[in-house]
Amino acid sequence: MADKVLMKGNEAIAEAAICAGCRHYFGYPITPQTEIAAYMAKKMPKIGGCFLQAESEVAAINMVYGVAATGKRVMTSSSSPGISLKAEGLSYMAGADLPALIVNVQRGGPGLGGIQPSQSDYFQATRGGGHGDYRMLVLAPASVQEMASLTVKGFDLADKYRMTAMILADGTMGQMMEPVSLDFPEAEKVEKPWATTGTDMAREHNIVNSLFLQPDELERVNFERYERYAYIEANETMYEEYLMEDAEICVAAFGIASRVAKNAINEARKQGIKVGMIRPITLWPFPVAPFAAAADKVKSFISVELSMGQMIEDIKLATSCKKPVTLCNRAGGIIPSPEQVLEAIQKAAKNGGAE
């Protein structure tokens, strides 16, 4: 096993991206993710890569669009308000079927909001963020190790499916330090015959484009894209189940919320409460199957979120509202405490599952 190094979450993302072969980074400063840019600014010139601070998030995502069009691995990172600005580019990249990695180290919103950790961009991320019918792969790390390994995975999936992948982290994940192994599996090489790298006078010109003025043509590319999405839903969903074998109460949480929830679940187990957790690792595709299966076994669900309740809607959809789903949340940059989550679990246990 390779040695582990102690890293901040944001730095782990940057180093993992370099390991994944990313040599182009474009970004604009915004708290709490600026360490990624700083790391890239230091490293890229030394390894023949390109770090460029763009004039805006809008420009940064369009620089990403340019590199992605040439078939090279490229990324940008930002935090919530900046991601809103990148939404235009995300939609265009979806329309032009371009792969890239986007990192959102979330902070509280809406508007300028705050700079403390949040998960309130769940809707934005899992529904694509910009205009039009499209999806993004959304990966939710719950440790610094996953910040790194899901970054590599994100590049691989983006290339494989010609779409953007987003790391949906939060301020805590970005700032906290944990040991990380930077030993990653070798990715499958993906050919990109569509890339605009110059014809070399050896082929017809390639066109990277999202404009389809004929409605039947635009409908066709949308249908094709959704066939690809259906394949991804069937094959790329990732989640972790924790103590679910005999669980009567199912906690659902991702990212930092799952770390807090795990503490609360361990404490509840000591008190004899049969509680487990499903932790989605891919937020899109959402792990529908384990939630649907759990709905036939457990008495109720508790969604632990750093938002006003966003993932809870996907849980209700995945379980066809078969069992009650309650929300245990904090918002505005505050993380629920293990005690708050434990209390929610105890309440659910007392009510025979329902709150």
Partner 1 sequence: MAVVFDKPHALVDMPMHYCPGCTHGIIHRLVAEVIDELGIEGRTIGIAPVGCSVMAYDYFACDMIEAAHGRAPAVATGVKRSDPDKHIVFTYQGDGDLASIGMAETVHAAARNENITVIFVNNAIYGMTGGQMAPTSLPGQVTQTSPYGRDTKHCGFPIRVCEMLSELEGPEYLERVTVNSVANIRKAKKAIKKAFQNQIDGKGFSLVEVVSSCPTNWGMTPQAALKWIDDNMLPYYPLGVYKDRSAEEDAK
Among 32, 89, 128, 171, binds partner 1 (CB under 8 A): 89
Nearer to partner 1, 17 or 306 (CB): 17
Q: Taking CB under 8 A as the rule, does residue 275 contact partner 1? A: no
Single out the residue of 31, 84, 206, 266 in contact with partner 1 (rule: CB under 8 A).
206
Say if residues 174 and 10 touch (Cβ distance below 8 Å).
Answer: yes
How far apart, in Å, are the Cα atoms of 247 and each of 34, 297, 349? Answer: 41, 8, 11
Q: Which of 31, 81, 85, 88 binds partner 1 (CB under 8 A)?
A: 88
Dihedral, 308, 100, 64, 117 alpha carbons, nearest 10: 30
Query: Contact between 218 and partner 1 (CB under 8 A)?
Result: no
Which residue in the set 38, 52, 187, 243 belongs to the binding site for partner 1 (CB under 8 A)?
A: 52
> Does residue 77 bind partner 1 (CB under 8 A)?
no
Residue 196 binding partner 1, by CB under 8 A: yes
Query: Does 254 sit near partner 1 (CB under 8 A)?
Result: no
Near partner 1 by CB under 8 A, which window of 87-95, 166-174, 254-262, 286-294?
87-95
Q: Show contacts with partner 1 in window 8-47 (CB under 8 A).
A: 24, 26
Contacts for 269 with CB less than 8 Å, ≥ 6 apart: 243, 275
192, HSE (Cβ side, Cα atoms, 13 Å):
24
**Residue 204 Cβ vs partner 1, minimum distance, rounded to whole Å:** 8
Instruction: Compute CA distances 233 → 89, 93, 236, whole Å.
Output: 24, 20, 6
User: What is the chain's length?
Assistant: 355
The verdict on 340 binding partner 1 (CB under 8 A) reads no
Residues 6+ apart with CB under 8 A from 352: 299
Is residue 64 involved in binding partner 1 (CB under 8 A)?
A: yes
Please list, in sequence order, all residues whose beta carbon lies within 8 angstroms of the beta carbon of residue 66, skipping any fewer than 6 positions away.
Answer: none
Residues facing 328 on adjacent strands: 304
Distance from C-alpha of 117 to C-alpha of 169, rounded to nearest angstrom? 9
How far is it, in rounded angstroms, from Cα 304 to Cα 341? Answer: 7
- Exactly one of 199, 271, 320, 337 binds partner 1 (CB under 8 A); that residue is 199
Nearest C-alpha neighbor of 99 from the set 139, 45, 136, 50: 136
CA distance 279 to 253: 5
User: Of the two residues 197 and 320, which places its CB atom closer to partner 1 in the complex?
Assistant: 197
The 90-109 contact track toward partner 1, x by CB under 8 A, reads --x---x-------------
Query: Does the footprint of partner 1 cover residue 186 (CB under 8 A)?
Result: no
* Contact (CB, 8 A) for 252 and 304: yes
Binding-residue total with partner 1 (CB under 8 A): 39
Q: Which is nearer to partner 1, 24 or 153 (CB)?
A: 24
Q: Rank residues 1 and 201 by Cβ distance to partner 1 and give the closer one.
A: 201
Q: Which is nearer to partner 1, 50 or 293 (CB)?
A: 50
> What single letter denotes the amino acid at residue 229?
Y
Report how far residue 24's alpha carbon sits from residue 65's, in angstroms, rounded to the nearest whole number: 11
Instruction: Indicate the residue among 61 and 152 with the shorter CB distance to partner 1.
Output: 61
Interaction of residue 115 with partner 1, rule CB under 8 A: no
Q: Is 83 in the site for partner 1 (CB under 8 A)?
A: no
- By CB under 8 A, name the binding residues for partner 1: 24, 26, 50, 52, 54-56, 58-60, 62-70, 72, 74, 88-89, 92, 96, 196-202, 205-211
